[in-house]
Structure 1
Amino acid sequence: MTQWPLPSDEAGRIQEIETLGAMEPTAEPRFSAIAELAALICQAPMALVSIVGAERQYFKGRVGITETGMDRWLGFCSHVIMDRRLLEVPDTLADPRFRDDPVVTGEPYVRFYAGAPVISDRGYVLGTVCVMDHMPRRLSTAQRRALASLSTCAADLLQLHHYARQSEQVITRLAEVEELKHGFLRTVNHELRTPLTSIGSYLQIIQEGGLDATTERKFLDVIERNSDRIRGLVDELLLLSSLSARTASYVPARLDLTTLARQVCSVTTARAWDSNLTLTFRSQAHVAVWGDAGRLHHALAQLLDNAIKFTPPGGAITVTVLGEPTPSLEVRDTGIGISAGDLPYVLDDFYRAPEAEEQAVGGTGVGLPIVNKIALMHGGSVHVDSTPGEGTCVRLVLPIPSTDSATAR
C-alpha cells in the first residue's frame, strides 16, 4: 500500500478536524443527501462525503458504499488532500498511481473517480466529496462545477454542526450558571438571615430590660459574633468580585511559605481543637516564594476553614509545606470527601457539592474559588483530590521565585 506524502499543514489539519468533531464513522442524513445529489448530478453509482483523518477516512455521507470508513491510504482522497484541487481519474487501470490500489483491483472495483476538496473556513482540506463508477468516463464542465459546489456545502455543514454543538454547550452552561445563581441566592439568604434573626432576637430581649449584667454581656457577645459572621461573608463576596475583575491589590515580596503556613496553623489550632480535630503541621526548614503575604494568608486560612467544616469530630487535618519540585502547600483532611462527578466544578464560583447541602455544612461556595483566583494571581495553581468518605487533599502550587523577582524589592 502506497503512503503518499503528508501535506505541510497536516498537524493543523488534523486539529481542525477534531475541533469540528468531524471524525465520526456514522453516516449523517444531511451529508448523505450531499452524496446522493453528487451521485445524481454526476450520474455515478457511488458517492461519498469523506473526512480524511490521520490514519483513516470517515464516510460522513455515502451512496452505493456500505462501509463507514477505510484506511487513509486506500483510494484517491489522499491525493486530493495534497493537491487541494479537484482530482479526476478517467480510467484507474490506465493510471500508474492507482491501478494496483485494492479498491481498483477488488471491491468496489473503481474504474472512474472524481473528488473535490472539502476546505474549512481556515483553509484546511478536511476531506472530499467524490463520485466513483465501475467504468471509465469523464465529467462534464457543469458536473465538475457542481461537485466543487457540493464540497463547499459539505464544509459549511461541518462548520454549522460545530456551531450547533457550541451553542448547545453554551445553553447548557447558561442553565448551569442560572442554577448556580439561584443556589447562591438561597445560600446567601440563609447565611445572612440566620445571624440577622439572631441579632434581632437578642436585641429585642436586651431592649426589654430586666437582664443582669452577666447575661446582657453574653447576649452582646452573641450579637458581636453574628455581626462578625455577616461582615466576613460580605468581605468574602467583595474579595471574590475584585479577584474576578482583577482589581484586587497585589503587593508581592520574597517570603517564607513555611513561616506563613505556621502562622495560619497557629491561629487555627484552637478552632480545630474545639471541633475535636487533630491538626498537624509538617514542613521543610524554609521554602521561598514570591507572593503577596496577605493574599496567601487568606488562601491558606480558607483551605483550613474548609477542612475543619467538612471533617467530622475525631478526624485529622495535616498541613504540609513542600519545596520540591516547586513550592507548594497541601491541606489534607479525613472529611466527608467529594464525589468524582463534583470534582471538576469545585473551583467554580458559588458551587456547593450535594454532600455539603445534605449534611447542612455552612458556606456560600466561594472558598475554593477564592483560593484558585489567588493562586492564579501568583502564577500558581490549585489541585483537588478527594474520595467520598475518606477525605480531601487540596494542593496549592506556587512558582519558584526567580532571581529577578527576588531582587525586585
Structure 2
Amino acid sequence: MKAPTPQNEPERLAALDRYGILDTPREAEFDGITRLVARLCDVPFAVINLIAEGRQWFKAEIGFGVRETPLESSFCAHAILQEELFVVPDTTKDERFDGNPLVTGEPNLRFYAGSLLKSDDGFPLGTLCVLDTEPRTLSAEQVDALEVLSEQVMKLLELRRQLALQADLTRQLNEALETRERILAVVSHDLRSPLGTVVMTAEMLREISDDPEVGRAADRLDRASGTMRRLVDDLLDYESMRAGKLSMQPRAIPVRELLERFGAEVRPAAEAGSIALEVVVDTDASVRCDPMRIQQALVNLATNALSKTPAGGEVSLRASLDEGGVALRLTDTGPGFAPEVAERLFEPFWRGEDSRDRGAGLGLAITKGIVEQHGGRIAASSAPGAGATFTITLPRAA
C-alpha cells in the first residue's frame, strides 16, 4: 500500500529543498553514521533516506547498493506520517505492506525501524532507518542509539546547509567587491579625464583674455575642479585603505624636511585666507614613513583647520620628541568642538551636524588610516571656542 501524501507536502518539500542535499555525492560523515547504526542494531541494511517528490533518495546506505527507489515501495514514506519512532516488527503481518515488492521479493524485508529526520522548522524530511530480513525488535539501547544518531544526521545536514549559505554569501561578497573595484576604476578614469579638460580650459581662458571677470571665472573653475579631484582621490584612497591596498613606500626622513614640505604646500592657502601659518621644529629626529602619505595626512588636517579658522587667526604645526616617538601637533584658532565629538571626527562620512564642508567626510578617516598603517596614532582635543589640536605620533626611525 502506498503511503498517503502528507497534508503539508508542498511546504515539506520546500523545507527539504532548502538543504540542497538531494542528488549530492556520497560523503564520509553520513556513510560513517549508517555503518555505525547498522553495527549497533546488528542489521544488514541501514539508510539515511530522504522522501522527495515521487521517489525516496538515499544520502547513505548499507546493504541496498542503490541511491534511490520508487516511492510506492517506501517504508519511510509511512514513517514520516508518524510523530515518533516508527517500528514494524514483522512486515508480513502489517497490511500497509501487503504486496510490497521489497517484502514479497528481494531483499525480502521483514523488519523496519525508522527515526525521523526533522528540519529546524519541524518538517519531516525522511528517516535514519534500519532493516532486516528477519522479524525482530530493537533493545532499548538500540532504540536510543538510532534516535541519537538520527539527531546527528540532522546536525550534519544543518551544518552542511549553513556552510553552503556561508560559501554563497562569500561568493556574493567577492563578486560585490570585484564589481566595486571595477566601478571605482571607471569612476577614477571617467571623472579625472574631464577634470583635466576643465583645468586646461581655465588656463586657456586666462591666456586669451585679460578681462578680470574671465579671470574670476577661471578661478572658480580651478576651485571646482580641485574640489572634485580631492573627492575622487579621497574615495579611491578610502576604498584602497579598506581593502588593505593603500600603497606605501616608507623610508627614513628627517622631521624637519617633512615640515618644510608641509609649509611650502599649505602656506599659499593660508595666505589666501589671511591666516597666519607657523611651522616649528623642535627636534632633529627622523621618522620612517612614506613622505607622500604623511604629507597627505598633514595637509588633510591643515585643510580642515584652515576651513574652520577665521581671517586673522592662526594655524600652527609643531614637531617635538614624545615618549612614544615624534609628535606632530597641529593647532588652530577656530571655533573648536565639544570633547564628546573628538572620537566621531575620524568616522568615515561624518561631517558634523553644523558642518559646511563640501567634502565627502573622508579626509580625517583617511588621515587616521594612514597614521595607523605607519604604526602611529592620532588624537584630537578641543573645547567650544578654544580652537582644536590634532596630534599625530609617529615612531622614530631606527
Q: TM-score, normalised by structure 1?
A: 0.51
1:153 and 2:121 aligned: no
1:6-405, aligned counterparts within 5 Å?
Answer: 6-24=5-23, 26-207=25-206, 209-210=207-208
**Gap change, CA 1:114 and 1:200, over 3 Å in 2:** same
Whether the 8 Å CA contact 2:3–2:78 is kept in 1: the answer is yes
CA distance in 2, matches of 1:104, 1:22: 28
CA distance in 2, matches of 1:26, 1:199: 61
CA distance in 2, matches of 1:6, 1:210: 88
Could you tell me which amino acid in structure 2 is paired with residue 150 of structure 1? Answer: L
CA distance in 2, matches of 1:199, 1:78: 74
CA distance in 2, matches of 1:65, 1:177: 46
Could you tell me which amino acid in structure 2 is paired with residue 185 of structure 1? Answer: L
**Gap change, CA 1:125 and 1:24, over 3 Å in 2:** same
1:407 match: none
Shift of 1:99: 4.0
Shift of 1:73: 2.4
Shift of 1:115: 0.8
Could you tell me which amino acid in structure 1 is paired with residue 120 of structure 2? Answer: D
CA distance in 2, matches of 1:9, 1:77: 16
> Match of 1:82, SS?
coil
Whether the 8 Å CA contact 2:56–2:74 is kept in 1: the answer is no
> Match of 1:97, SS?
helix
CA distance in 2, matches of 1:145, 1:155: 16
Shift of 1:75: 3.1
CA distance in 1, matches of 2:7, 2:125: 14
**Gap change, CA 1:166 and 1:78, over 3 Å in 2:** same
1:38-87 CA-to-partner distances (Å, cap 9, x unmatched) read 10110111100000012111100111111111112213111111113211
**Gap change, CA 1:210 and 1:116, over 3 Å in 2:** closer
CA distance in 2, matches of 1:21, 1:113: 27
CA distance in 2, matches of 1:194, 1:22: 52
Whether the 8 Å CA contact 1:26–1:68 is kept in 2: the answer is no
CA distance in 1, matches of 2:3, 2:118: 19
1:340-399 CA-to-partner distances (Å, cap 9, x unmatched) read xxxxxxxxxxxxxxxxxxxxxxxxxxxxxxxxxxxxxxxxxxxxxxxxxxxxxxxxxxxx
CA distance in 1, matches of 2:39, 2:98: 26
**Gap change, CA 1:210 and 1:83, over 3 Å in 2:** closer
> Match of 1:3, SS?
coil
Aligned length: 224
Shift of 1:210: 4.5
Structure 1: which 5+ runs fail to align? 238-409
> Match of 1:5, SS?
coil
Q: TM-score, normalised by structure 2?
A: 0.52
Shift of 1:201: 1.8
CA distance in 1, matches of 2:107, 2:28: 23
> Match of 2:171, SS?
helix
1:205-243 CA-to-partner distances (Å, cap 9, x unmatched) read 333x25599xx89x98xx79x97xx79x99xx9xxxxxx
**Gap change, CA 1:25 and 1:176, over 3 Å in 2:** closer
Whether the 8 Å CA contact 2:51–2:126 is kept in 1: the answer is yes
CA distance in 2, matches of 1:73, 1:174: 44
Could you tell me which amino acid in structure 2 is paired with residue 68 of structure 1? Answer: R
Whether the 8 Å CA contact 2:118–2:126 is kept in 1: the answer is yes
Structure 2: which 5+ runs fail to align? 236-398
Whether the 8 Å CA contact 2:38–2:46 is kept in 1: the answer is yes
Shift of 1:119: 0.8
Could you tell me which amino acid in structure 2 is paired with residue 162 of structure 1? Answer: R
Could you tell me which amino acid in structure 2 is paired with residue 110 of structure 1? Answer: L
1:102-128 CA-to-partner distances (Å, cap 9, x unmatched) read 111122221111111101110000000
Shift of 1:32: 1.4
CA distance in 2, matches of 1:75, 1:14: 16
1:333 match: none
CA distance in 2, matches of 1:10, 1:80: 14
CA distance in 2, matches of 1:151, 1:73: 23
1:165-204 CA-to-partner distances (Å, cap 9, x unmatched) read 1111100011011111111111111121111111112222
CA distance in 1, matches of 2:208, 2:186: 36
